[in-house]
Structure 1
Amino acid sequence: MTRKPFRAAFLAMLATLCALASAQSEYMSSPDGMIRSVTQQVLVQVKSDKEIQAGNLTRITQLVNEKILPYIDFTRTTRLVMGRYWASATPEQRAQVTEQFKLLLIHTYSGALAQVHDQEITYQPFRASPDDTDVVVRSSIINNGSAVELDYRLYKTPQGWRVYDINILGAWLIQVYKQQFADQIAQHGVDGLITFLTQRNQQLAAGG
């Protein structure tokens, strides 16, 4: 191949790659597109990773950190779960609660990830105004003919859409944990909540 045709082919290849990257970026810029893309990536990796299927917490944590966490605002989730107690917590306490809450969710849902095999995901038509900054993407997981409701609440940030709440079978994550956190803080303070979450994570890590 002469230099000119080679250069033309190379430029064509770059143009194609840029177009693909642009299409993916545009797809990820919408809340439903982002959820579909991230979910597909996670499912593909789970189904091909035998260690994850065996419940290897290290591999599951790695998957969550690499594929899921970049699109979740755990700080916002934790702030909403703590409610009025967030304002009185120190920055260090907020960071500790957020980290332990993240670990708790990873431990709690690691079993579900390990059981992913031939499940399919369907999405309901996405309805939102172009000006909306807080939306819900609704989906269902089809497992052996039975549908499990799984919805995502997202808000728009300068960096793109971020998930901050999840609805499983009609129960939103924030509401599930809000009263539990409030009871712990009312009885033992924020430090008591941190201790409770830390001990619970240690129990779950030990298989308890």
Structure 2
Amino acid sequence: MSVSADGLSTASAQDLVRQTSDRLLKTVKAHQKELDDHPDRIYSIVENIVVPHFDFWRVAQLALGKYWRQATLEQRQRFTNEFRVLIVRTYSVALLKYSEQKVHYLPIRGSAEANDTIVRLEIQPGEGSPSILMNVHLYNKNGSWKIFNVAVDGVSLVTNYRADFASQIRNGGLDQLIEKLAEKNKKAGA
């Protein structure tokens, strides 16, 4: 176990991810019948259990890359809100498909001096399905661990969206991207 400068251990980051995942999967299992009938209710479960552990401002900043510095505060806020809804919706839909998964925690990555760490998980969706490797990137924000990126089988959430968003901004500007995200979220009923 390593410890950061302010006393946060990388093991506590793994504990946070483990406890959050366990609580989320138990809640989904406990409400499976209700979720089968009303799948949109998964959003509030994810909002209550997972979202508090994300730093969406940082996620949004990383996803916009150089365009973040060019954005106004109002654009940053609007983008962060719409991007958060998109991530929650996407994660929630995937969660419903894989709620019976088994999760194994691999050794964490991070040094004693680092203020960030990577919690590595191996997710086994079921018999005959290949394992999914997930890296949860966390950093120390004011004495607590916050998630700022997730990579699934080597594909980074932030990097994946950054390339798409950069292309959309070059073609139509940031305001148009925000409007498209808002429209997509509205159509999805989120």
Q: Cα RMSD (Å) of the superposition?
A: 2.1
For normalisation by structure 2, the TM-score amounts to 0.86
8 Å CA contact 2:116, 2:138 repeated in 1? yes
- Which has the larger helix fraction? 1
For 2:101 and 2:14, how far apart are their aligned partners in 1?
19
Give 1:188's aligned amino acid.
G
1:56 to 2:56 alignment: no
Q: Which residue of 1 aligns with 2:146?
A: 162
Alpha-carbon offset, residue 203 of structure 1 = 2.9
SS at match of 1:140: strand
Between the aligned partners of 1:67 and 1:125, the Cα distance in structure 2 is 24
Residue 203 in 1 paired to residue 187 in 2? yes
2:81 to 99, 106, 113: 99
Please state how far the C-alpha of 1:29 moved relative to its aligned partner: 7.3
TM-score by length of 1: 0.79
Counterpart of 2:48 in structure 1 is: 66
Which stretches in structure 2 are left out of the alignment for 5+ residues? 1-7
Say if 1:130 and 1:56 are closer, same or farther in 2 by CA, change over 3 A.
same
Question: Aligned partners of 1:54, 1:114: CA distance in 2, in Å?
Answer: 12
The equivalent of 1:120 in structure 2 is 102
Structure 2 residue 65 is matched with structure 1 residue 79 = no
Please name the residue that 2:118 is paired with: 136
Contact 1:154/1:163, CA 8 A, preserved across alignment: yes
Q: What is the rounded CA distance, in whole Å, between the counterparts of 2:18 and 2:101 in structure 1? A: 14
Aligned to 1:4: none
Q: Secondary structure at the match of 1:30?
A: helix
The alignment covers a number of residue pairs equal to 180
Is this contact kept in 2: 1:136–1:153, CA < 8 A? yes
Alpha-carbon displacement from aligned partner over 1:158-201 (angstroms, at most 9, x marks no partner): 14010010011210001110011111111221111111111222
| Consecutive unaligned residues in structure 1, runs of 5 or more | 1-25
Which deviates the most, 38-47 or 119-128? 119-128
User: What letter is aligned with 1:185?
Assistant: I
Is residue 79 of structure 2 the alignment partner of residue 89 of structure 1?
no
- Residue of structure 2 in register with 1:12 after alignment: none
Structure 1 residues 13-52: aligned runs within 5 Å: 30-50=12-32, 51-52=34-35
What is the rounded CA distance, in whole Å, between the counterparts of 2:100 and 2:39 in structure 1?
19
Q: Specify the SS of the correspondent of 2:124.
A: strand
In the TM superposition, what is the alpha-carbon distance from 1:55 to its structure 2 partner?
5.4
Aligned counterpart, 1:174:
158
- Rg larger for: 1
Per-residue deviation at 1:86?
0.8
**Bigger RCO of structures 1 and 2 (CA < 8 A, at least 6 apart):** 2
- How many Å separate the matches in 1 of 2:148 and 2:36? 26
Counterpart AA for 1:180: D
Structure 1 position 53, deviation (Å)? 4.3
Secondary structure at 2:148 match in 1: strand
Shift of 1:107: 2.1
Which residue in 1 is equivalent to 2:4? none
